[in-house]
Amino acid sequence: MLYALICNDKTDHLQLRLDTRTAHLEYLDSLGDRLKFAGPFLGADAKPNGSLVVIEASDLAAARKLADNDPYAKAGLFSSVDIRPWNWAIKNPDNK
């Protein structure tokens, strides 16, 4: 099952995001094939203010564990993280 992690940064925490970015990217890379895609949301100023991460997990609890172990989450960057089951129906490279 795929899960979308919809993460919103706390206001005025851009520096924390920048300081933690390398560890965050290393963590995402360590997920291997469980990570389907990821990237930041951008504000009107074109600066990152959140993240969209789509992962494969066995269930919601496993998805929550992956989300909680992200260095951004551990650093306290996010004001909220919404985890929702997601169906990749269009342009899914696994559905050739």
Say which amino acid occupies 94: D
Predicted pLDDT of residue 82: 98
pLDDT at 43 > cutoff 90? yes
Classify residue 92: in a domain, yes or no.
Answer: no
Do 26 and 86 touch, CB atoms closer than 8 A? no
Classify residue 91: in a domain, yes or no.
Answer: no
3-state secondary structure of 96: coil
Instruction: Count up the domains in the chain and report the number.
Output: 1
> pTM of the full predicted structure?
0.94
Average pLDDT of the chain, as a whole number: 97
Tokens of 23: 């560890």
Tokens of 69: 């172990």
For Cα atoms 80, 83, 85, give the angle at the middle one, nearest 5 degrees. Answer: 160
Classify residue 40: in a domain, yes or no.
Answer: yes
Classify residue 60: in a domain, yes or no.
Answer: yes
Tokens of 21: 């970015």
CATH classification of the domain holding 68: 3.30.70.1060
Do 57 and 63 touch, CB atoms closer than 8 A? yes
Instruction: State the pLDDT confidence band at 44, using cuts at 50, 70 and 90.
Output: very high
pLDDT at 94 > cutoff 90? no
